[in-house]
Chains A and B, each alone.
Chain A
């Protein structure tokens, strides 16, 4: 069992007041909050260990390098990668996607096709559109069903021999729906297509084993997993990462530099040019350790409890419309109330201290599918409580009354 009130003590920000009232933070799908266990590690790094990594011979540099590389091992173990060098540290999910999209420029040609879905975040659409523009390849889109799930029959029929890559999110950021990625990957592999999974929303809510999933690339961000902003990772199978050209040139990513020819370093350094976000990476490792100390099985079942409780109580409100109300989803509820604009609801909720996200959530195609300007998105984390949900529902009713 998870002791939520004890856990909340780890998060100093949860005691904050906004607009003279207690903060109720339901914008976890945008960024999660940071526990002392992570804040302290980052602060301690600058107080005790700050030094540039990998090339220094002095003790402080060795110390920082060990901590940085230890995070790689933590992340490798947690996500079930086979080797440390398959974990590339990035600035976040978007960076990871762009490493692959730019790497594919010379490997994709005009007769090739790429697949994305209608429910992708813009950051898993735009880099592929840019790749198509550069290479002349074609982007195909898996539509969603009216309940928000992926249309798997359409996916199967889109998987033609010319499809080289499939880019899908693990979990929809705007609806919270969990996609059947194992099936998606197997179908793609049978078709000789590679798969990149955008794990920005997936990685934080349940345990994943990347080598068992047999996924080719997986990208995620630390700040959705109680870690700091500006850091994330790209996982890739060794053979695939080795086949890609480097993303950026600079220090760290080379083994030999002359004006005649420069040789690139091996994985993972080939993709980690320049001084990385050392404290961020160390904080990321601490965040994974923190979440594992609570236990992902506990996190998953408690968040499901919050989701069910909130969904049940929201449905009692007149004129509520929930988008993507299916069984297989994380603790995200995307909804509208009558014809009220989501920004009106969000502004009033904010006055009651409730932080939610409103708008298109960087997924304009989904909003176009439902023909709406956006939604209100409440997303819960394992440190939220049912009494916060009660206050949120109460504030929502007051907002509804105010808007008339």
Chain B
């Protein structure tokens, strides 16, 4: 299992191939389309993340000291970004998730392409992911 930092580095490497913003967006759109189907039972208001212009649902599960995330959105670019977050965070121990320093978003140059509204939404997502991890750690 790769560490959170290793996964981030891998994503940064992948994005280095892209020449311009449109290739990055196209990649995110494709990732969004390929995000595994979200369980409809989890598409509930209590799983909604506040602060996003599009709707974003985030659900988590905890088993064998590993946190898993699934998420969905009604907007495809948001889904693509979520897909990256899941790849980074899902399948790790709570303490690893809590301690993770998320730097790939800036390094892949997504920051400059995100409006403030969307950047806030992204921060809310990361915050919610860490809150889940904290809750699972407290439960242990």
Say if A and B assemble together. Answer: yes
Given the interface pairs A348-B25, A351-B22, the reply to whether A343 lies near B113 with Cβ below 8 Å is no
Closest to A358 in B: B53
A33 contacts partner chain B, Cβ-Cβ < 8 Å: no
- Does any Cβ of A come within 8 Å of B122's Cβ? no
Instruction: Check if B107 is an interface residue, CB within 8 A of chain A.
Output: no
Contact assessment for B22 and A347 in the assembled complex, using a CB-CB cutoff below 8 Å: no
Q: Is the CB of B75 within 8 A of A341?
A: yes
Instruction: Answer whether residue A57 sits at the interface, using C-beta atoms and an 8 A cutoff.
Output: no
Question: Contact: A404 with B29, CB < 8 Å?
Answer: yes
* Nearest opposing residue in chain B for A401, CB measure: B26
Q: Which residues of B contact A350 (CB under 8 A)?
A: 115
From known contacts A341-B54, A343-B53, A373-B54, infer whether A351 and B76 are also in contact, taking CB-CB under 8 Å.
Answer: no
A402-B22, A402-B26, A403-B76 known; A351+B113 contact, CB < 8 A: yes
Q: Which of A265-292 contact B (CB under 8 A)?
A: none
Q: Which residues from A are CB-within-8-Å of B22?
A: 351, 402
Minimum C-beta distance from A368 to chain B (A): 14
Q: Which of A350-368 contact B (CB under 8 A)?
A: 350-351, 358-359
Q: Does A256 contact B (CB under 8 A)?
A: no
The answer to whether B76 and A341 have CB atoms under 8 Å apart is yes
Q: Which of A290-346 contact B (CB under 8 A)?
A: 340-341, 343-344
The answer to whether A341 touches B74 (Cβ under 8 A) is yes
Residues of B within 8 A of A347 (CB): 25, 77, 113, 115, 118
How long is the Cα–Cα vector from A43 to B115 in the complex, in angstroms? 30
Q: Once the chains are docked, how many angstroms separate the CA of A256 from the CA of B89? A: 66
CB of A48 closer than 8 Å to a CB of B:
no
State A344–B115 Cα separation when bound (angstroms).
12
- B window 16-37: CB within 8 A of A: 21-22, 25-26, 29, 33
Interface size class of A (residues with CB under 8 A): 10 to 19
Binary flags per residue of B128-139, CB closer than 8 Å to A gives 1, else 0: 000000000000
A19 at the interface (CB under 8 A from B): yes
The CA-CA distance from A341 to B78 in the complex, in Å, is: 10
B93 within 8 A of A: no
Q: Residue of B at shortest CB range from A347? A: B77
A347 to B26, CA, bound (A): 12
Q: In the complex the two chains form, what is the Cα distance from A32 to B45 in whole Å?
A: 36
Interface pair B21/A403, CB less than 8 Å apart? no
Give complex CA distance A373, B113 in Å: 22
Is B78 a contact partner of A343 (Cβ separation < 8 A)?
yes
* B55 in contact (CB, < 8 A): yes
| Size range of the chain B interface in the assembly | 10 to 19
Chain A residues 239-275 with CB under 8 Å of chain B are none
Once the chains bind, are A373 and B74 in contact (CB under 8 Å)? yes
Q: Which residue of A lies closest to B113 (CB)?
A: A351
In the assembled complex, the CB of B55 is this many whole angstroms from the nearest CB of chain A, namely 7
**Known interface pairs A347-B115, A351-B113. Does A402 touch B29 (Cβ–Cβ under 8 Å)?**
yes
How close is A26's CB to chain B, nearest CB, in angstroms? 15
Smallest beta-carbon distance A391→chain B, Å:
16
Query: Is B21's CB under 8 angstroms from A344's CB?
Result: no
Q: How far is the CB of B24 from chain A (nearest CB, A)?
A: 10
A348 to B26, CA, bound (A): 10
B104–chain A nearest beta-carbon distance, Å: 19
Most buried by A among B21, B33, B76: B76
- Which chain A residues lie closer than 8 Å to B26 at the CB level? 402
A399 nearest CB neighbor, chain B only: B25
The answer for the CA separation of A165 and B18 in the assembled complex, in Å, is: 59
> Smallest distance from the beta carbon of B111 to chain A beta carbons, Å?
13
Judging by beta carbons under 8 Å apart, are B75 and A343 in contact? yes
B29, B55, B76: the one contacting A373 at CB < 8 Å is B55
Q: Which residues of B contact A344 (CB under 8 A)?
A: 29, 54, 75-78
Q: A341-B76, A373-B55 are in contact. List 20 more A-B contacts (CB 8 A).
A: A19-B21, A341-B75, A343-B77, A343-B78, A344-B54, A344-B77, A344-B78, A347-B77, A347-B115, A348-B25, A350-B115, A351-B21, A351-B22, A351-B113, A373-B54, A373-B74, A374-B53, A402-B26, A404-B29, A404-B33
Residues in chain A within 8 A of chain B (CB atoms): 19, 340-341, 343-344, 347-348, 350-351, 358-359, 373-374, 402-404
Return the 4 tightest CB-CB contacts between A and B, nearest first.
A341-B75, A343-B75, A343-B54, A343-B53
Q: List, sorted by A's number, 8 A–B pairs whose CB atoms are closer than 8 Å.
A: A343-B78, A344-B76, A351-B25, A358-B53, A373-B55, A374-B53, A402-B22, A402-B25
